[in-house]
Structure 1
């Protein structure tokens, strides 16, 4: 017997409205579509459920007996679906994500606190990786999703940008450049710059923007991580060009960030998703919370 939910919903709506035309507003269907559904249902059951006239419809005896059963079937289905969603939303388990360190520092704490209130039984594992590592983790399916930055593409992943952050100059508060309102790249010719490795996605963004303009910074020190770069600056070994997110949220007692322009360089930060794959229910909620935090943060 091929009775479907649309047929049941249509029958209940018409029976309650006692009119095909009034049921059109409830179901958002045309009159012929409603008639076809009702006729198909009656053919499957082998009985007449409704007595139709030009002005109204009324239930037959069989229709009156069938109406509460149809309502019960629809109610039970809705309750079952809600139960499945509830179980999926509150299931115990583990969500694994990959995230570049700067985004993890700025956006994850508040996001995870909100997520924990909604899913107290779900554990979260954060893989703190460089941009390339985030892409590889997502492409391999080892994580539900990633938070990374625009850079080298991968055929198995897609990047969804959420915000753009400028590169700034990080220097000590007692450095002469700290007194300037805005720094130009020409002002850095004589400075010992602390940079990140050539393998870094941040370095790739800088090189792509500067080299065509003939600007070749004096990278006197190179480090693998932005936190190491800032440590060298704090020790007075030089100044660093870093994304604004690499610096602490609150004013630092030693370091200060200065606007860096001519040219102004930005990087796009966002989520990294595996093509053709969708995160599970809990991971999807975490992703939505993180997207909200990144856009507004």
Structure 2
């Protein structure tokens, strides 16, 4: 059956006015066009809906029955459209991001604050997880983009480097006599270093740096969480070796000092997106806010946080 919502709306308006001329004006059509729409509806249903004369228009019994049904149909139709509109509006204000916790901590709070100021009440979902997990969530379509510290080699994603941060040492007063403000990788070999676990990108950067010297990087302790590292460093049980941005939550702890590794590795930090498809407007804005925060970090922490390299897209992990 080929009956359109517009036909039913015209029919209901005509049942209320019983005047073809006024109803035609209401729908911005000519009277003959309205008459044809009603005639087509009658033919489609096989029912006579109106009794017409030169002086009056009256609903038939079939027309009265259809009017009751049509009001329900149009009501449901309008309610469905409103649900779709609300759902689309809600979706237009949703964004999901996956990131390493250390990067989420420094890049996302200010970016999300800017999004809230722009969109009022957006729904922002943050997945703070490992580098590999953040890329998997992106590929699986669970997030709009990821913030990673290694350029993925997966063919379905694109990597845009937004900054680089240097590796540093974080030590307590117990070790200040042995840890100068400027150190070299060779100076670290005999120190009780504490690092992230082997599965972390930070460990991969350090291992690669020592491998180039023909040395195996063997820290005294390894932990999954930066907070755990902080506790052991504060107690004087070792010296943390971390990317600078990974140390920022710890810099407020009293008695800890940051030292430069002058020939240490430099970690790449970037935004990862899917090659296929187009990002939503709010996702594009979120990425721009992250770039803005990255730029502010580069300007404010120029000693430790570096601008992207000339080659912004890095093909492989270190």
Q: Is the 8 A contact 1:102 1:245 kept in 2?
A: yes
Give the 3-state SS of the residue equivalent to 1:247 in structure 2. helix
Q: Which runs of 5+ in 1 are unaligned?
A: 1-86
Separation (CA, whole Å) in 2 of partners of 1:178 and 1:116 = 46
SS of residue paired to 1:253? coil
Q: Tell me which residue corresponds to 1:165.
A: 165
Asked if structure 1 preserves the Cα contact closer than 8 Å seen for 2:157 and 2:273, the reply is: yes
Aligned 8 A contact 1:151 1:201 in 2: no
Q: Could you tell me how far apart the structure 1 residues matched to 2:234 and 2:151 are?
A: 29
What SS class does the counterpart of residue 121 from structure 1 fall into?
coil
Task: Identify the residue that residue 253 of structure 1 maps to in structure 2.
Answer: 254
Would the alpha carbon gap of residues 220 and 142 (structure 1) be closer, same or farther in structure 2, given more than 3 Å must change? same
Q: Quote the Cα distance in structure 2 between the aligned partners of 1:254 and 1:151.
A: 35
Determine if contact 1:151/1:205 at 8 Å carries over to the other structure: no
Indicate yes or no: 2:291 matched with 1:269. Answer: no
Structure 1: distance between partners of 2:282 and 2:129: 22
Distance between the aligned counterparts of 1:151 and 1:172, measured in 2? 33
| Whole-angstrom CA distance in 2 between matches of 1:118 and 1:211 | 47
CA gap of 1:294–1:215, structure 2 versus 1, over 3 A, is: same
Structure 2's unaligned 5+ residue stretches are 1-84, 298-318
Residue 117 of structure 1 is matched in structure 2 by 117
**Which aligned pairs between 1:204-223 and structure 2 lie closer than 5 A?**
204-223=204-223
Q: What is the Cα deviation at residue 126 of structure 1? A: 0.2
User: What's the Cα RMSD here?
Assistant: 2.2
SS in 2 for 1:91: helix
Secondary structure (helix, strand or coil) at the match of 2:269 reads strand
TM-score, reference length from structure 1? 0.65
CA distance in 1, matches of 2:158, 2:229: 30
Separation in 1 of the partners of 2:120 and 2:254? 37
Shift of residue 242, structure 1, vs aligned partner: 0.0
Q: 1:177 to 1:243 in 2, by over 3 A?
A: farther
Indicate conservation of the 8 Å contact 1:169/1:258, yes or no: yes
Paired residues for 1:95-244 under 5 Å: 95-177=95-177, 180-244=180-244
Distance change (3 Å), C-alpha of 1:278 and 1:235? farther
| Contact 1:191–1:218 (8 Å) recurs in 2 | no
Q: Distance in 1 between matches of 2:151 and 2:131?
A: 8
Secondary structure of the corresponding residue to residue 98 of structure 1: strand
Report Cα offsets for 1:23-70 as digits up to 9, x if no partner: xxxxxxxxxxxxxxxxxxxxxxxxxxxxxxxxxxxxxxxxxxxxxxxx
1:280, 1:144 → 2: CA distance? Answer: 8
Task: Indicate conservation of the 8 Å contact 1:91/1:121, yes or no.
Answer: no
Distance 1:201 1:152 in 2: 11
Q: Which residue of 1 aligns with 2:90?
A: 92
1:15 aligns to what? none
- Rounded to whole Å, the distance in 1 between the matches of 2:191 and 2:133 is 31
CA distance in 2 between partners of 1:179 and 1:202 (Å): 20
Distance 2:179 2:218 in 1: 21
1:188 CA displacement = 2.0
Length, aligned pairs only: 209
Partner of 1:278: 278
Cα deviation, 1:110-157, whole Å, max 9, x if unaligned, reads 111111011113110100011111111111111001111124421211
What is the distance in 1 between the residues matched to 2:212 and 2:192?
Answer: 22
